[in-house]
Structure 1
Amino acid sequence: MKNIIVDCYENYKEEDRLTTNNARKIEFITTTRIFDELLDNKMKVLDCAAGTGVYAFYLADKGYEVTATDITPRHIELIKQKLMDKNYNMNTSVLDATDMNIFKDESFDVVLNMGPFYHLITENQRQKCFSESLRVLKKGGILVTSYIPRYYVIQHVAMGDRRYLDMKLAEQIINTGVIKHEDEKCFWTDTYYSSMDEMEELYKRNGLKIIDHFAQDGISPLLQEKVDSLSFDEFEVWCDYQYRICREKSILGASNHVIIAGIK
């Protein structure tokens, strides 16, 4: 499984994902706005699937002590290159988020689990990742998990490629949440799509007090052409609107990416 995911990201420019257009930027804008509300810059943060470091660098630039890990070697190399232009250090490591034994118990005030969860297609893998995140998190610390809602995904892929407007595929995602790389109509890689209720149950079952649950980008990816055509002032209004509605329950299932946060 690991090599499949790594191969996917080694050949994909993750560093461009949140910067190429306004419809994508809104995820970062909304997420960092809420991070500024939830987090304190004296916190020690583990970004356990940092990608190329967009959130890790955002927090480090604000004074957080950040450790950035990722399963994809290319991503860690890009983070190291960016660090050469920074006046601070950031610990980095190539790491599988289901096994973080390089870190001691209760090492971090915040764990950002914002990438691995939706690439773990078995419940056992997901629980391993979740348990490891909790193990390295201090009591009273904050666990942040990103997921992709299963009721959104067919709408999104069908807008991009009609080959995936397929009822059998839709039923597979609705019923199981799982797409595997060998599936006939796999449009990405091994992926698990979750739901608001499932994620809240996961947090409660593991003893976490939920403190936030919000849509990172809402329906903006479905409206990409419209959102990208907005003027600067219009886009600001759209971002403010997205922020105002991002915690509405009906929006959570209609968003491309969603975050749930809880206190250990």
Structure 2
Amino acid sequence: MESDEIVRKFYDETVDDEWERLERHRVEFELTKRYLNRYIKPGDKVLDLGGGPGRYSLYLAELGCDVTLADLSEKNIEFALKKANEQGLAIKRLQVDARELSTIEDSQFDYVLCMGPMYHLKSEEDRAKTIRECLKKLKPNGIMFVAFISSYSFVWDYLIRNPELILDSERKSELNKIVDGKDFAGKGFSDNFYISPENVLPFFNQFDLEKLHLLNSESFLYLREPELLRQKPEVINAWLDLAEQVCEREDLLSMAEHIMYIGKKPIKT
């Protein structure tokens, strides 16, 4: 089975779990929303590419944005539309492969969220093709939000869920990838791509983008997130306030499960 079919099948079969993921991992969701809120205003046009079951699409639609949710999984899109109808919100829908967006008009979006495709595109060529497609859809001066899974995510997941996995030869081989400091592709929750934090900015050097932010989407909170989320709201928010202030520090990137690049498309002169 081709990789894109594996990924499509995975998301078609795990819609409910994907919807709940950002409830279980609220730090990522809340910090990302804070960065969206720095830029996106009511009335802005947003393409949520690879937006899954629509957590961010629905959030932005509720803010009054003109949102198009585009995803590889038809089941994800159907779920998002059902949620939108339940909440009295309007979102547009498209089933697409992020590498080929010819069905979407160019230069029409103020913002493009690409917070899913990079988790699965295992070749550099496909990742670059997707960024170029996103750039085509952005207006001049438009802003792109691109998320990656860090190569360190294996480390944190194994430490949290089952530290003894390091004794398994196959799992230890995966963990040793961080020793080399290289990107790698392999079997994670689906067919996945993992990027070394130090390689994110070099990847974007090939594109005509002005870097605005590079951040650890969990800041320093990921390893203690379950304990944090049991606290009262004012405690959670105070920790999020502190986490937001330091999440762009380079020395925290290796603590990330997810890394976010935010860049602006320049106005051509």
Q: Same fold (TM over 0.5)?
A: yes
**Aligned partner (choices 15, 18, 33) of residue 19 of structure 2:** 15
Q: How does 1:231-242 map to 2 (within 5 A)?
A: 231-242=232-243
Cα deviation for residue 142 of structure 1 reads: 0.5
1:191 aligns with 2:192: yes
Cα deviation for residue 117 of structure 1 reads: 0.7
Q: How does 1:156-195 map to 2 (within 5 A)?
A: 156-162=157-163, 164-165=165-166, 166-172=171-177, 175=180, 176-181=182-187, 187-195=188-196
Alignment-derived partner of residue 109 in structure 1: 110
Cα distance in 1 for residues equivalent to 2:207 and 2:125: 14
Say if 1:128 and 1:108 are closer, same or farther in 2 by CA, change over 3 A.
same
Farther-moved stretch of structure 1 (85-94 vs 5-14): 85-94
Is residue 152–residue 257 contact of structure 2 (8 Å, CA) maintained in 1?
no
Farther-moved stretch of structure 1 (244-253 vs 222-231): 222-231
Say if 1:65 and 1:4 are closer, same or farther in 2 by CA, change over 3 A.
same
> Structure 1, residues 128-153: CA drift from partner, whole Å, max 9, x if none?
11111111111211111001221343
Letter in 2 for 1:171: N
Cα distance in 1 for residues equivalent to 2:225 and 2:213: 26
Cα distance in 1 for residues equivalent to 2:242 and 2:23: 20
Structure 2 residue ranges without an equivalent (≥5): none
Cα distance in 1 for residues equivalent to 2:258 and 2:250: 14
Q: SS of 2:22's equivalent?
A: coil
Q: How does 1:23-172 map to 2 (within 5 A)?
A: 24-162=25-163, 164-165=165-166, 166-172=171-177
Letter in 2 for 1:32: K
Letter in 2 for 1:139: P
Cα deviation for residue 226 of structure 1 reads: 2.5
Structure 1 residue ranges without an equivalent (≥5): 182-186
Q: SS of 1:27's equivalent?
A: helix
> Structure 1, residues 201-256: CA drift from partner, whole Å, max 9, x if none?
22232010011122221343322342233233322221112112111111222111
Alignment-derived partner of residue 4 in structure 2: 2
Q: How does 1:215-230 map to 2 (within 5 A)?
A: 215-230=216-231
Cα distance in 2 for residues equivalent to 1:205 and 1:130: 10
> Structure 1, residues 89-136: CA drift from partner, whole Å, max 9, x if none?
311011111111111221211110000012111111111111111111
Aligned Cα root-mean-square deviation (Å): 1.9
Letter in 2 for 1:17: R
Output the TM-score relative to the length of structure 1: 0.89
**Matched pairs, number:** 256
Is residue 46–residue 112 contact of structure 2 (8 Å, CA) maintained in 1?
yes
Is residue 173–residue 179 contact of structure 1 (8 Å, CA) maintained in 2?
no
Q: SS of 1:142's equivalent?
A: strand
> Structure 1, residues 151-190: CA drift from partner, whole Å, max 9, x if none?
3432323321235424311224654432333xxxxx4221
Cα distance in 1 for residues equivalent to 2:253 and 2:47: 25
